[in-house]
Structure 1
Amino acid sequence: RGVFRLGPHRLEMGDPFGLFQAILDYPDFENVLIYPRVVQLPQVELPRGSADGHAPRRRSLTGQRAAASVRDYTPGDSMRLVHWPTSAHRGRLTVKELELEPSGDVWIVLDLNAAVQRGEGSTGTLEYAIMLAASLAAEMVSGNERRAVGLLTVAGDAVTTLAPQPGQAQLWAIMRALAPALASSTPLDALLQRSLRVLGRRHTLIVITPSVGEDAPRWIAEVVRAQGQGLASSVIAVTTPDDETAAAETLRLLGRLDIPYQLMRTDIRLRAALTYRRTRKVIRSTPTGGAFTVEVEEEVG
């Protein structure tokens, strides 16, 4: 991904004996924008709320709840969900199964702070997080729910704020913003703190971050503040294989706060979501020294 320049070009031609030479100069050049890779994501756990984004102020994270049935309690279930009359009748703890509808428009908050990035290239957290943001936007805009999606990040020295909008035009706007994105010096907690007014209310917040170390409690506190403002929130934690153990405490803290989270390791290879089939000619040799061409059809991601 990124912005690449093609040109100017020079073509030099000559004969095998060096007797003749021709040089052609092409001074023109063109900039080419390469978008981030879009992949098929595993099922991402999102916060739930009402379809129009309205969520109760008391527990904006969990959204509007409607108890559809009850089941036996399992370790990890919140005690808030215990259905006490049924528990007393059965003589064991039972909890309410809840039917929830998706909350409203989605803000993708992407943490590009250079201080928390790990690894290099396609297996580094920076490139992986950008790929996840692009893929999540594509899934939200083009999937079954077709939700309005926005992007908040700091790339280099520039703050990118694309308010949630539906449709393919918004997806390409997000892709254009992510394509040249560079690491920044802005911590995630500072980005969230100064952007709460921009994020508004009654939306869904999806935070993508590799910050799972000792600085994590600071940005988690800002996520909790966002919930208090009416933003249902969830976290996608991006780690390298070496950081998975260090991330355990951060994930436990998110769990204690009932913030949905998902761990994505950079060594997990995900299949391309945008592919097309092309046909190209390949030259094959024969045992006798001859050659022939065949057409090969292949899928390109």
Structure 2
Amino acid sequence: MTGWIDAHHHLWDLNAVHYPWLMAKGVERFFGDPSPIQRNYLLSEFSADAQAQGIRASVHIQVGAEDGMVEAQWVQSVADANPHWPMAQVVFCDLTAPDLMDQLDAFQHLSTVRGVRQIVGRAPGEDAQTGTNALLDDPRFLTGLQEAGRQGLSFDLQLIPELYEKTARVLAKAPDTHVALCHAGSPHDRSSEGLSEWAKNLRTLSDLPHVTCKLSGLGMFDHHWSTQSIRPIVETCLDQFGAHRTMYGSNFPVDSLYSDYATLMKAYAELIPEEAKSAVFRETAKRFYQL
């Protein structure tokens, strides 16, 4: 494998950008204990691991910085300083903000920006505290989603299965905004019944032609995952979205809490049929993020 693209990863320099969630000490998160990744994670480390597995380009996804623009400008500076590593980015933007147009205009001045992300749902327990699910009932969110599409920006969607149906109704009203479904839609109940219900509900999103699925972050709800444990998720996504609407993402360094990069790629290489590899590991992300 060579020339592949990692369509979902993070980087952080704790001296350059402030991440409140990352610096919180002794706080257990839905994805586990973050203490092993409470350190700088720079392009040199990520690209060394990824390149060894045939990755040659990537997409940086915003990761909860205190100031989304500061993070975006820092990512731009990293990309500018490393022209040998093609990297696009998805930035944080509050689509309900009164100055949304100004924010989107400012982001458009950064050559690496391809889309925006505003998390709708992370995990049931955390969502109850953050209230992010309420975005789906806010008419400003839909208006912002439509505006992002008008400006040629995609939207990275992170949510949980309980929100699929309501989200699908919102997305159907923004058909010109290309949507990337992060982490296969975060199927957090990994029982056979849970995965069956997830697969059934996933149809509400996969039936929308402007939604593309990311095979990423599958370790966050299965810290002891194996190739076999994630098999039904990978197979369901490929069945519903097709390889042309499915792309690979490592979600590193978060998913480095559960495995190394080589182990992750080996699992996906085994699960994804040979005829689908070119699309899942390269072509879908290349097209979606204009790499």
**TM-score normalised by structure 2 residue count:** 0.32
Larger radius of gyration: 1
**Structure showing the higher helix proportion among its residues:** 2
Structure in which a larger fraction of residues adopt strand: 1
After TM superposition, the score normalised by the length of structure 1 is 0.31
